[in-house]
A and B are shown apart, each in its own frame.
Chain A
């Protein structure tokens, strides 16, 4: 098979890998569903988000081939995450600290 020399060439990943990723995703879906029924207090959301982030990483890295992609693609992915975090965390920083001063509205 002509494996293209250029970086643009398609990367052919073994089918086994796809099935492994798929299997992991399904298992994690049911794990996160099950864990949500346990009372972990405030940790429930963190566990749920951690599993979701892990699942999303699997999809991005393998189904979307970022693992095998150019540095530019990886940078674009990182940039989108970085800016998303800026949006979420800098806004939540306001929400989280609104009661610190003990003066309403400050």
Chain B
């Protein structure tokens, strides 16, 4: 962003941007080649074979030989070039879809027409996102009303932000600077005002910024107080309460596979926790009764994210799948520290 002058190409400020630009270059080359080829042939034929004024044309001869060969050639070549586009695009997409296990988590709630950002450490901001450079950042996003889309063109990434669900986006900023944040899914009157800025800072600046933040405690801590405030702990065994057997145990739950009453299985991820708070009877854990009341209308989306973070902090497993690749430093045995590389201690990036 920065300079407001005329540009023809966006800044590339994330680890994925270079790959996307490479694919773009390939696509532009292929497209330019075929567009120019067709344009040239069409114009060339139109001139070369134009009907002269006094000419009485003879019926053109049949295309006897070569027709079939040509048809096959001009089917196969585009197919081949297309499959490269598919494979290349899919590999980038796969990378974009799977956040690295060591990513630091940030939570985003979209609403008409603003972005609310909560950092794991407790800092909150609106229409701004501060992130450290060269760190993997994982966003968990949801919306309070309509569908939005969290897009940072300089990072070449975006994802829709849906109400009633969580979506995930990750990136690794590579250049310190300020970049546009756009809502890119039409969301109503002030859609074009639902913009913001992503500030990529170096480590020290980021820590300083984070330190100046609110003193409300980390997401998980806030989640814990909400958990107690709502009375969840009176039934669910958790960090403090280990005895009650009427409700499923939340310790070590996150990331595991839960067997339900009807025999089906579900992974205890962010969406499952969220649904269990709002629609507790939708998926009843095997061996338990449907006694939990709904908390729909009692908890905001922000609050839900905090509860999810709290449950997450009780579990040994990380939010991302592929626990095999998770760095061993992540499993913290310290009871008060959430099991993730949050917190101010930064060992750079592995």
- A interface residue numbers (CB < 8 A to B): 41-42, 99, 101-106
Contacts and interface: CB of A to CB of B under 8 A. Distances in A.
Contacts of B322: 102
Interface stretch (B110-118, B201-209, B262-270): B262-270
A105 B165 contact: yes
B222 interface: no
The 6 closest A-B pairs by CB, nearest first: A105-B167, A102-B321, A104-B166, A106-B97, A103-B168, A105-B168
Contacts of B165: 104-105
Contacts of B264: 42
B98 A103 contact: yes
B320 A103 contact: yes
A103 to B, nearest CB: 5
B271 A104 contact: yes
Given A103-B321, A104-B269, A105-B166, 12 more contacts: A41-B263, A42-B263, A99-B269, A101-B97, A102-B267, A103-B98, A103-B99, A104-B165, A104-B166, A104-B270, A105-B141, A105-B160
Interface in B237-275: 263-264, 266-267, 269-271
A61 to B, nearest CB: 36
Interface string B163-187: 0011110000000000000000000
B20 interface: no
A38 to B, nearest CB: 16
Contacts of A42: 263-264
Nearest to A99: B267
A38 B130 CA distance: 58
B168 A102 contact: no
15 contacts: A99-B267, A101-B98, A102-B269, A102-B322, A103-B99, A103-B320, A104-B165, A104-B168, A104-B270, A105-B141, A105-B159, A105-B165, A105-B166, A106-B98, A106-B167
Contacts, number: 40
A104 B170 CA distance: 12
Interface string B216-237: 0000000000000000000000
Choose among A99, A101, A106 the residue with the greatest number of B CB atoms under 10 Å from its CB: A106
B120 interface: no
B162 interface: yes
Contacts of B266: 99
Contacts of B162: 105
Contacts of B270: 104
A105 B163 CA distance: 12
B330 to A, nearest CB: 16
B140 interface: yes
A51 B264 CA distance: 24
A104 B321 contact: no
B160 to A, nearest CB: 8
Contacts of A102: 267, 269, 320-322
Contacts of B263: 41-42
Contacts of B321: 101-103
Contacts of B160: 105
Nearest to A100: B321
Contacts of B320: 102-103
Contacts of B166: 104-105
A103 B267 contact: no
A34 to B, nearest CB: 22
A42 B263 CA distance: 9
